[in-house]
A and B are shown apart, each in its own frame.
Chain A
Amino acid sequence: MGFTLTYLSLIVLIPLAALILKTTTITWGQFIQNVTNPRVMASYRLTFGASLVGAVINSFFGVIVAWVLVRYEFPGKKLMDALVDLPFALPTAVAGITLTAIYSTNGWIGSRLAPLGIHVAYTPLGIMVALTFIGLPFVVRTLQPVLESLDPEIEKAAVSLGADRWYTVTRVVLPTLLPAWITGSSLALARAVGEYGSVVFIAGNMPMKTEITPLLIITKLEQYDYAGATSIGVVMLAISFLLLLTINWLQSKTGQYRIH
């Protein structure tokens, strides 16, 4: 018990406290300035916007993937199932350079899109691609156990009452999945918001245009603007904490503890 608390304090609590403490060294006015100037605001818009897009894409495709993996049989299914965790297991830097390579104008996919006027690398579009990649496992893995434990009797009951398949799926099955769906999407969102490694290579990192908030923090650090970095860091921490509380609350509603 003692060990638990000591370790927790040393590794988590004290460093986090340092962050809070550092912010007290600057005035409130300065803090607001630091976290609301145009460049920072642009980075928020980009970070959250792209994360949201990524989470939405994963919501849509994630449920299809989960459904297909749980309910259908097809060759290579086991392989696909294992691969779903790739974005989780793969180091972010590797993901970053690989996605950039693929989507840059001379990359495998990028070269095919360029003539159509679609540029992915070094644009917000590229950031969305990276964030979709990173959030992929969350929706799928949150939905799978719920789908697996669905009672088939319920669908049979719907059929015996005269429902056709479309009706059963949309009115009976999908609503049951809703809490887990939202939880999974929230987890994908939370992960995307803080993401650095997989995004920073494909992003282009131009202030006001393709600069994500985590990168901005690093830039400030490199310029020795500790106050600026800390201020933005606190904002990000607050958002993390908020998202964490929301997700825990959602998970307590669905009876699930965690996903991995």
Chain B
Amino acid sequence: MSIEVRGLSKYFNGFKAVHEVSVKLETGSLTALLGPSGSGKSTLLRMIAGLEVPDAGEIHLTGREATYVTAKERNVGFVFQHYALFKHMTVYENIAFGLRVRKQTEKEIKDRVYELLNLIQLTGYEKRYPSQLSGGQRQRVAVARALAPRPEVLLLDEPFGALDAKVREELRDWILKLHEETSVTTLFVTHDQQEAMEVASRILIMNKGQIEQDGTPIEIFDKPATHFIAQFVGETNFIDTEVAEKGLAVWGPFRFSINPTLAVKRKIRIYFRPNDVYMTEQFETLQVQAKIAKTRFKGTVIEYQLDIGGDKNISAQIPKGVALASGFKEGQFVYAAITAFHVFPL
């Protein structure tokens, strides 16, 4: 089932939770809705599910108008952040719930529940109660429960938010595999960018009720469309300066070649990622001299704070192996260049 929303809006007491959002998701896609708290992503998801009624706009499911169709009729599956499992029912009964409501036969129900238990790798747990399961197990049951009535769309609201880091990682892989096996159109909400980039093939970044960018993980990472996205996704340095002359901006010893249409003296902000800072011990062309002020070990990378003189510094990140091989030390003088950056007028 494809999902399309047009001009969708929702306001809470004048606060624009979602404002004129339009997007189309193809059948079988796996998309992430990424954004900070309060960006409206959960509200958007809930409107698609039928749990909230939009104040304006339309929702179409597989081409059919569904804006005011009840949640029951939409045939969507929804997974909550805190699982919302029925605490007084066993795992079996939880998964069977949607099927019982549709008045399927006992045999049909039994077959489907066991099929799903197998899928979520919890065969043998059918008589347990939610209170007897771990967080990760509960979430898997919640997914199974949502999938039981064979929905055409699966919506997940920060599904792994309440779990430990390690469990989150494992469930991420699991969701990817699940999607490969079931090919259900899936849309999930998260505030964790790593999760969005690892799992989804398409990311919608939401901020202040609107979609600021719509693209693949690489596009989002390498070509952020707005200030907000440049700062929100990945780590960044940013520097404020102004256009020095046509096509050129200057900051300390660095010279940036920029869009020539920007007016001279226009204030701009330049973003660049720490891992796009290139460091060597010997001078090569276009590099700037810097002193390593601090080093920080960050697991797979080492971060260097580079002092480029005049109270200015930037951070650079180098993969651990390369860094150790080069032998960079605090206090050492190196030469740095910025290999990629983005400019936004202020």
**Direct A–B contact in the complex, CB atoms closer than 8 angstroms:** no
Q: Which residues of B contact A (CB under 8 A)?
A: none
- Chain A residues with CB under 8 Å of chain B are none
